[in-house]
Amino acid sequence: MERLNFGTGTPWEETVGYSRAVRVGPHVFVTGTLAADEDGRIVSPDAAVQTDFIFRKIRRVLEEAGAGLEHVVRVRIYLLTLDDSEAVGEVHHRWFGGIRPCTTMLAISDLFTDEGRVEIEVDAVIHE
C-alpha cells in the first residue's frame, strides 16, 4: 500500500521530523496536534478555544488526505489538568456528538509547548 505524508507547515514538523498526518490505504493517522498557528504560536490560553482550533486544524488535514470527520474512529485528548475536561468535552461533543468515535481523555504532566493546554490526535478509516 502506498504511504502518503501530509503537513501543515508548522515549524515543528521540519525541526522534529514528523508528518501532521499519514495515510496508508484507507487509514489516516493524525499526529498529536496543538492549537498552534502557522508561526507556531498557541492561539489562546483557553482550553476550549484551543480544542476548537485543534479540531479545525485536524479537519483540514483529514480533508487533504481524502477523509472527513465522519471517518474518525478514535480520538485521544491530552490535557494538562482535568479541570479543563468539561469544557474540552463540550467542544468534542459539538464536533463529534453525532459521530461518536472511541475517545480517551487523559491528564498528563506536560505538553510540547508551555502555552498549550490541550493536545489531540485522531485515527480515521475511510469507508466507501
pLDDT for position 111 = 87
CATH of span 3-125: 3.30.1330.40
**Prediction pTM value:** 0.93
pLDDT digits (tens, 9 = 90+) for 13-64: 888 899 999 999 999 999 999 999 888 899 999 999 999 999 999 999 999 9
Give the separation between CA 26 and CA 23, rounded to whole angstroms: 7
